[in-house]
Amino acid sequence: MTSGIIAALVAILVYSVIEGLGNFYPAKATWLRLRRMRGRYAVRRMRERIEEASRKNPARRLAIVLLILVAIWVASASLLDKRWFEVVADAAPSLVVTLALLRIPAVLDSVAERMKQHERDAGEDPDKPLHEPGDGGPQVLAL
């Protein structure tokens, strides 16, 4: 019983962190500090990678697999010598984690959109490439 309560609290904490990330990251000050420490190009690439990750759906596939496992777990309640609602109560943390996994693409989209807005506020066009190939950008500096 205690482990189920701890698992439920941890699952709710995970969900809260994901929602908090979607609502607040990156703050303007954080974005400016990242940009000052790492440079414009690195922060732009970070945003582009976040956008790519939001388009891929490994989290959605993992959530579906987890949901199927929970359904099998609930269906096997009679084999576990438990009532179905006891098994659902045991599986509740897994359902919260499934919900968190399903929210990840939308959260990543909101983070990328917030970063685009910060770029617009800094006077840049977030859709325009930083460097054209062969114009002496970071590739030349790396040599």
* Residue 140 falls inside a structural domain: no
- CA torsion, ordered 16, 99, 51, 141, to nearest 10 deg: 50
- Which residue segment(s) compose the domain that 41 sits in? 2-125
* Residue 134 falls inside a structural domain: no
* Residue 141 falls inside a structural domain: no
* Residue 133 falls inside a structural domain: no
Residue 2, SS3 per DSSP: helix
* Residue 69 falls inside a structural domain: yes
Domain count, the chain: 1
The span from the CA of 87 to the CA of 21, in Å, is: 31
Question: What's this model's pTM, rounded to 2 decimal places?
Answer: 0.76
In order along its 143 residues, the chain shows pLDDT tens digits of 567 788 888 889 989 999 998 899 989 999 999 999 998 888 999 999 999 988 887 888 888 898 898 888 888 877 877 777 777 788 888 888 888 888 989 999 999 999 999 999 988 888 887 765 555 555 555 55
* Residue 95 falls inside a structural domain: yes
* Residue 114 falls inside a structural domain: yes
* Residue 61 falls inside a structural domain: yes
